[in-house]
A and B are shown apart, each in its own frame.
Chain A
Amino acid sequence: MSFIVESSNLTKAYGGRTVVDGLDLRIPEGSVYGFLGPNGSGKSTTMKMLLSLIRPTGGEVEVLGQPMNRSTRRQLLGSIGSLIESPPGYAHLTGAENMRIVQRLLGLDDAQVDFAVKTVRMHGQMGKRVREYSLGMKQRLGIAMALARQPKLLILDEPTNGLDPAGIEEIRELLRRLADGGVTVMVSSHLLGEVDKTATVLGILSQGRMIFQGTRADLFSAATPDLLIDCSDPRRAQSMLARAHGARLEDTTVRLAGVDSDEATAGVVTGLVAEGIGVHGVRRDEQTLESVFMGLTAGGGL
């Protein structure tokens, strides 16, 4: 698999405080990379380093197969669209005038600008001044400004922040369409639900460290779900298994944590049967991505 973004030991410290700590990012080409983490976990700082808006304290970044640094950034940034923190846009100018500035700076033709504006469905609003735009419209104009250069890589920092559910769904839909069109998208959020359904690869950041990176399936297998047992005498089964497995009783179901292999599961069942308890149900708990995420970022204050 080829990676469009690859970092090694990427680190940023301000004074003695390490904000981003030894990240090895791997963003596969053509993926939608969901970059997750609580507020203040270092997502924006990381994205700014990928764009060379800020310089790393340590480590390196490769984008589009080339090292990204101050001497290469201007050449690489022509193929990277980005939206960092709040959406850009000159408030005293209209949407069309803002797009014209982007067009001039990047040397784009009218068709590229029209395409970007139509993609975000803003063609009806271009005569209005940005100051009169709603947050959602500003967000979409910002994405159009990033898209007009027809980037190979799009880096979006919390693009759904402050949007209503319809706006969020619209951005999700847009990201899917872009990915289908071959653009690699890196999108950050502090809410799992916002990128869960769109992202093909996830990176989870907590206090500046990458605590998980991989596919959704990888994420599920990284955390073992609880074992649930239904039996003829749940009360006695719970007290039997309390010490070894921290068994808890939920209605008539016994919940066991940390039983992580088939052998261990079989051992638990054998033990119950040997004590004359009839076992009629053994299953794994249904796990939501949310609970896995919460478990990984425990105490992150989400």
Chain B
Amino acid sequence: MNALAAEFSKLKRSLSWAVVVLLPIVLVATGLIMTLIDGRGLEDGWHTLWMRSIVFYGLFPLSVGIAILASLVWRAEHRGSNWNALMAGPTPSLQIIIAKAAVISVLAAIMQVIAVVTTVALGMIGFGLPGFLPPEYLAISLLIILASVPVAVLQSWLSMQMRSFAAPVAVAFLGAGFSAFLLVVGLDAAIFISPYAALSRATQLGTATFADTGDITAGVIAAIIAACLLLSTLLAAANTVVLERADART
């Protein structure tokens, strides 16, 4: 798809790369240092490490990170008359929406890889844990990458709509916080309504924290995948309809 190739060209010299690299490293490390300051060790080895790094990260920093990436990706379009130029071209609205969401999703995926690498490095070098990260967490990481997609689609929409950089990030922060609360009180169905909830839920898989029972069942995995596909499709379709009808501003 030509629009996708064009979107990737725009990432050159973008600030997005700094976010993609620094945010997961800083947050995973922060999650761990906090628990160390509390004086608790890694009672259950790799599992505890995963819980304190990735699950903590998945509660809200991951969604906020995707929101920052979306705002950065859209910022270039809101400057000058770039938006007019894009909308006065032949690229169909759906392609524009998909290309933007795809770029944000790919950046989010790279961010997840870096988060996992940081976790493994801290485990092996920092804490001298025996062996390697249990393989199920690598599979869960793939699910987290998938669950980043609906958040990317939603944040892309918000950043398209709002010219402000901070407002969509604030929405992600509040949305992720509220979604985490819903999961804590056991409202698992929230994953079908809130992309933030679906993403948080994916990070909690197999850890027996918050909404998770500790068992990785086919049912739970299927529910998360279904929620992601459903939310991504609905949000992208709605965004396209809105873009088709909207007047260009400025």
Contacts and interface: CB of A to CB of B under 8 A. Distances in A.
23 contacts: A48-B84, A70-B245, A77-B90, A80-B88, A82-B84, A82-B85, A83-B81, A84-B81, A85-B84, A86-B81, A89-B80, A89-B82, A92-B14, A93-B10, A93-B12, A97-B12, A100-B9, A101-B6, A105-B6, A105-B89, A105-B90, A106-B89, A142-B85
A53 B89 contact: no
Interface of A: 48, 51, 53-55, 70, 74-75, 77-78, 80, 82-93, 97, 100-101, 104-107, 142, 145
Nearest to B244: A70
A75 to B, nearest CB: 7
Interface residues of B, number: 28
A182 B247 CA distance: 31
B217 interface: no
Given A70-B245, A93-B10, A97-B9, A77 B2 contact: no
Contact of B88 (A51, A70, A104, A107): A51
Nearest to B13: A92
Contact of A87 (B81, B92, B245): B81
A105 B79 CA distance: 19
B209 to A, nearest CB: 41
Contacts of B9: 93, 97, 100-101, 104
Given A92-B13, A93-B10, 19 more contacts: A53-B87, A53-B247, A53-B248, A54-B248, A74-B90, A74-B92, A82-B84, A82-B88, A84-B88, A86-B80, A88-B80, A89-B80, A92-B12, A101-B10, A104-B2, A104-B5, A104-B6, A104-B9, A106-B90
A78 B91 CA distance: 9
A219 B216 CA distance: 80
B133 to A, nearest CB: 37
Contacts of B248: 48, 53-54
B26 interface: no
A89 B80 CA distance: 8
* Centre residue among B6, B13, B89 by max chain A CB count within 10 A: B89
Contacts of B87: 53
B80 A87 contact: yes
A70 B242 CA distance: 12
B76 interface: yes
A93 B81 CA distance: 15
Interface in B209-250: 244-245, 247-248, 250
B102 interface: no
A74 B88 CA distance: 8
A70 B85 CA distance: 16
A84 B90 contact: no
Nearest to A138: B80
Contacts of A77: 88-90
B204 to A, nearest CB: 37
Interface string B78-107: 011110110111111100000000000000
B244 to A, nearest CB: 6
B76 A92 contact: yes
Interface in B66-86: 76, 79-82, 84-85
Nearest to A108: B2
A90 B82 contact: yes
A87 B84 CA distance: 10
B81 A85 contact: yes
A78 B247 contact: no
Interface string B1-39: 011011001101110000000000000000000000000
Contacts of A48: 84, 248
B6 to A, nearest CB: 4
Contacts of B244: 70
Contacts of A88: 80-82, 84-85
Contact of B91 (A51, A85, A105): A105
A54 B248 CA distance: 6
Contacts of A54: 247-248
Contacts of A97: 9, 12
